Amino acid sequence: MITNLDQILDAVKSKDKKRLVAAYANDAHTIGAVSAAVDKGIVDATLVGDIETIKKVCASEKIDVNKFELVQEADEQKAANLAVKLINEGKGNMLMKGLVSTDKYMRAILNKESGLMPGPKAMLSHVGVIGVKTYHKLLICSDMAIIPAPDLRQKVGIVGFCVNVAKALGIDKPKVAMIAATEQVSDGMLACTEAAIIAKMSDRGQIKNAIVDGPLAVDVAIDKEAATIKKLTGDVAGDADCLVFPNIESGNAFYKACTKLAGAELAAMVVGAKVPCILSSRGDSEHTKLYSIALAALTAK
């Protein structure tokens, strides 16, 4: 079982090498992260963008441009569309956002005719794997960036995405905590009632290969002492592998608090498309970008 982010890098090296396609990779942030991943033997890489700009950035950053396959497209939206087209043609196993804006990147992925959605009922979500020094293992969290207010069906889907990532990390039966403001089943809080429904679905075998409990507040989900004080029993309390948040605000605030206040590192990607899609930010650390590429490579088919 993988228990820290560095182990993901090692795990990827034992598998067949995947090819990353970076959309509109005209910036030093993207090229630097992809270069590091190539140097570590994690992926091969195709950069879609303006070739002259890419060459200038590589020269400035002292990066050997010959380690990449380069595909010319100077227009931002067209570059994103072309990167997706390469994936659909079987010329890549994972997608990464470059300098292209997030809305144009997502537009290329979601395009009904030429995008990466596997079917009309498919949904996207955002899964992060967070390494916090104060917790005894990795935390798999969702959704922190895509679905503002998931309904019951979407939350069940998010549980499935988290379980799939957990299995890729070697966790056979992940413990999933449905997060709410309280562990009490309060009928006045939708997060609580839907968490209880999903936990019961798990009890009855409607959710496979996982142990789901909820509602659970964050403290009792990840702290044994808090769970004991509040007299909570069960396999998940105090030992969660996965945290499923009730809305984007709580998930986003949690992961940013972990990274900015607790010095956590993370890997994150968009899931639910035909391939893992890395949605990196300029504010992400170099380690986060590298870990995200490695996580996508680990889960890519």
pLDDT digits (tens, 9 = 90+) for 234-288: 999 999 999 999 999 999 999 999 999 999 999 999 999 999 999 977 677 788 8
- State the pLDDT at residue 287: 86
For residues 127 and 163, give the distance between their C-alpha atoms in angstroms, rounded to a whole number. Answer: 10
At 144, which amino acid appears?
Answer: M
Q: In the structure encoding, which two tokens stand for residue 294, read together?
A: 């490695």
126-173 pLDDT, tens digit per residue, is 999 999 999 999 999 999 999 999 999 999 999 999 999 999 999 999
- State the pLDDT at residue 55: 97
65 pLDDT band (50/70/90 cuts)?
very high
For residues 247 and 251, give the distance between their C-alpha atoms in angstroms, rounded to a whole number. Answer: 7
Mean pLDDT of 109-119: 94
- State the pLDDT at residue 190: 95
- State the pLDDT at residue 107: 95
83 in Cβ contact with 97 (< 8 Å): no
- The number of residues in the chain equals 301
Mean pLDDT of 89-118: 95
Dihedral sign of CA atoms 161, 145, 187, 121 in order: negative
What are 277's strand-pairing partners? 95, 270
206 pLDDT band (50/70/90 cuts)?
very high
69-88 pLDDT, tens digit per residue, is 999 999 999 999 999 999 99
- To the question of pTM greater than 0.85 for the whole model, the response is yes
- State the pLDDT at residue 295: 97
Edge-to-edge, what's the strand order for the sheet holding 211-216? 69-72, 43-49, 18-23, 94-97, 277-278, 265-271, 125-131, 139-142, 242-244, 175-179, 211-216
Query: Which are the contacts of 294, defined by CB distance < 8 A and separation ≥ 6?
Result: 8, 9, 12, 37, 42, 267
Nearest Cα to Cα of residue 68 among 50, 47, 53, 88 = 47
22-34 pLDDT, tens digit per residue, is 999 999 999 999 9
Nearest Cα to Cα of residue 293 among 27, 39, 73 = 39
Q: Is the confidence at residue 121, as pLDDT, over 90?
A: no
